[in-house]
Homo-oligomer: A and B are copies of this chain.
Amino acid sequence: MLSTFKRFLIGRPLKSTDLGDQKLNKRKALAILSSDALSSVAYGTEQILLVLVTVSTAAFWYSLPIAIGVLFLLAALILSYRQIIFSYPNGGGAYVVSRENLGENAGLIAGGSLLVDYILTVAVSVSAGTDAITSAFPILHEHTVLIAVIFVLMITILNLRGLTESASILAYPVYLFVIALTLLILVGLYNIITGETPPAVNAEIGTPVHGITLFILLRAFASGCSALTGVEAISNAIPNFKDPGPNNAAKTLMLMGALLAVLFTGITYLAYSYGISPSETETVVSQIAAQTFGRNFMYYFIQATTALILVLAANTGFSAFPLLACNLAKDKYFSRIFMIRGDRLGYSNGILTLGFASILLIIIFRAHTEHLIPLYAVGVFIPFTLSQTGMILKWFREKPKGWLPKLITNLIGAIITFIVLLILIITKFEQIWSVFIFVPAMVYIFHRIKNHYMDVGEQLRLKQDHEAIKIEGNVFVVPVAGITKVVENSINYATSLSDQVIAVYVSFDREEEKAFEEKWEKWQPEVRLVTLHSHYRSLITPLTKFIDTIEHKAREANYQVTVLIPQFITKKSWHNLLHNQSSLLIRAYLLYKRNVAVATIPFRFKK
């Protein structure tokens, strides 16, 4: 039943040799890996205007030079990540780059930040997308949390089905969003050129503005950089690309950068030209669309694709998180369960963990995750800075042909991202302080996990000159509850394996004890019976005490003690409610608390 349902949800299992088929071509990769970055266009310009409006609307012209600054940073990031893709063709992104060039802890800081960041990506994007939908259909507003959770579940299932299939489904909305915004920008520009749109009431570029400071401009710039979250996703996912992976990934990255630049510049320019001011009740993109087309089909089309891409931006997290978790697990910093490929060849444990964690965040924050956005930006710029710094050291150490321009590219990137990081920390400390707790905590946990695996390896390793102690003989202890077929089976099995079989009967009543001893003597005279009296109606306490005695004696003679426990296998699962589950209890207790082997022999009821 359960397994049929699983098949229905995620499809039939795939052979390991099918792995190649699941890889992404550029068109699908762009759809699957860039929704996070491209969806940032929906709020990037707004973030800049929200800072400038604190001075005055006259300051809005600064959004154009700030956007150019962001574009410059974008170019630096894209070029830098392009270099990373070719230098690290196996993926891993910021984690691998930082670890190899800056050392273990830098790598773990980058890895830890990114893991948390992907969870935030999912929670924030899905919540924002849900908000867009519930704004369009207010009747759904009270079900926001439920809708967001359903979206996460759907994306989780799509990812469990496997990369290619999810990419086919996800490709349409991403391309629709790109088409919709491109149309919006083109029509908007046409209107401006033909003069159909009334001239902007905004101040001319270069107008002096009273009260503007460098600090405010830097803050506006840092806020605008939220449009850059998600550009690192491609460099983490190179192994998912069709061969040649690095070439395809680099081309996809450039294409994504170009699209992001065009859309971001276009939206920012239209916002300036239309004289749009950020509003509590309507997004900047919505205002631009309404002014360009009026509230007709095109307006709703743009709003719908925006909502959709925000929800699908979550999918970037689903592509990147499992791969990063697997990379950390390969280096023994994370549980090895993240290295297992599921039925459909995805890293299902990573997918499920991400789905579960983001649903938890959505429920805890009741889908009001807006104040997580600065945290999310910090979580991105920490690995940005670390990986670019790592690349600088790499060029400096290795000095390959033409290394100086490459070093300068990364140096500029490192300086800018570091400044953005500092500005984020200074201007939004009350929203991001927790990063200083959870990132060190994660690094600590990574080390603890690695230590555990090292300890385990040490304890499992066979030493060269080591000789195993031979087991000289076996003692079987068989708890019996009566004279029945089950007991007969167990005694049969035990005597077939060893001469030393001891049946143990735990009694709660002195008289019944004697009667049982007499019956046993008649039935199985060759098997020694020990009766234990239980004052407190517990099976485990007297049994454990007895086994301790036996085990103590056995160990002196290099004998191994095995406790044999029969287990009823009922015909129907509800029958289990009708039997004490003492066999399971005894087994778990002995195995975890005592040094004995535990054998279980099934007794299968036929009705």
Neighbour of A452 across the interface among B13, B496, B562, B575, CB < 8 A = B575
* Interface residues as binary, A518-555 with B (CB distance below 8 Å gives 1, 0 otherwise): 00000000000000000111100000000000000000
From B337, B537, B578, B595, give the contact of A602 (CB < 8 A): B595
A567 to B538, CA, bound (A): 26
User: Please, which residues of chain B bring their CB within 8 A of the CB of A488?
Assistant: 462, 468
Q: How far is the CA of A109 from the CA of B310 in the complex (A)?
A: 59
Q: Is the CB of A336 within 8 A of B580?
A: yes
Which of A336, A472, A485, A488 counts the most chain B CB atoms within 10 A? A485
Q: List the B side residues contacting A412 at CB < 8 Å.
A: none
Over the window 449-484 of chain A, the binary record of Cβ atoms lying under 8 Å from chain B Cβ atoms (1 yes, 0 no) is 100110110011110000010111110000000111
How would you classify the secondary structure of chain A's contact residues: helix, strand, loop or mixed?
A: mixed
A605 within 8 A of B: yes
A4 near B: Cβ within 8 Å?
A: no
Taking a contact as CB atoms under 8 Å apart, the answer to whether A470 and B492 are in contact is yes
The 3 A-B residue pairs with the shortest CB-CB distance in the complex, in nearest-first order: A471-B496, A460-B484, A599-B599
In the complex, the answer to whether A560 meets B493 with C-beta atoms within 8 Å is: yes
Question: Restricting to A488-537, which residues have a CB under 8 Å from any CB of B?
Answer: 488-489, 492-493, 496-498, 508, 535-537
Residues of B with C-beta under 8 A to A596 = 602
Contacts of A343 in B (CB 8 A): 536-537
Report if A606 contacts B (CB, 8 A): yes
Taking a contact as CB atoms closer than 8 A, the residue among B462, B497, B569 that contacts A474 in the complex is B497
Interface pair A591/B569, CB less than 8 Å apart: yes
User: Which chain B residue shows the least CB distance to A498?
Assistant: B497
> Which residues 407-464 of A sit at the B interface, judged by CB distance below 8 A?
449, 452-453, 455-456, 459-462
Q: State whether A578 touches B336 (Cβ < 8 A).
A: yes
- A-B contacts, 27 listed (Cβ < 8 Å): A13-B538, A14-B536, A15-B536, A16-B508, A17-B535, A335-B577, A336-B578, A337-B577, A341-B537, A449-B578, A455-B605, A455-B607, A456-B568, A460-B484, A460-B485, A460-B486, A462-B488, A468-B488, A468-B489, A468-B492, A474-B496, A493-B560, A493-B597, A562-B599, A587-B600, A591-B602, A597-B601
Q: Does A179 contact B (CB under 8 A)?
A: no
* B471 A605 Cβ-Cβ under 8 A: no
A371 within 8 Å of B by Cβ? Answer: no
Q: Chain B nearest CB: distance from A551 CB in Å?
A: 12
Residues of B within 8 A of A482 (CB): 460
A591 and B597 contacting across the interface, CB-CB below 8 Å: no
- Once the chains are docked, how many angstroms separate the CA of A493 from the CA of B469? 11
B599 and A597: CB pair below 8 A?
Answer: yes
A579 at the interface (CB under 8 A from B): yes
Do A462 and B483 touch across chains, with their CB atoms under 8 A apart? yes
Complex CA–CA separation, A497 to B473 (angstroms): 8
Partner of A599, one of B484, B537, B567, B598: B598
Q: Which of B16, B472, B602, B605 contacts A597 (CB 8 A)?
A: B602
Tell me whether A141 is interfacial, beta carbon within 8 Å. no
In the bound complex, what is the Cα–Cα distance between A473 and B492 (angstroms)? 11
A143 within 8 A of B: no
What is the minimal beta-carbon distance from A102 to any residue of chain B, in angstroms?
26
Complex Cα distance, B470 from A291, in Å, reads 90
Most chain B CB atoms below 10 A, which of A453, A598, A602: A602
- Beyond A337-B580, A343-B537, 18 extra complex contacts between A and B, CB < 8 Å: A13-B538, A16-B508, A335-B577, A335-B578, A341-B537, A449-B578, A452-B578, A455-B607, A456-B568, A456-B605, A459-B485, A460-B486, A470-B496, A562-B599, A569-B591, A595-B602, A595-B604, A597-B600
A200 within 8 A of B: no
Does A140 touch B at the CB level, under 8 Å?
A: no
Known: A484-B461, A536-B16. A492 touches B508 (CB 8 A): no
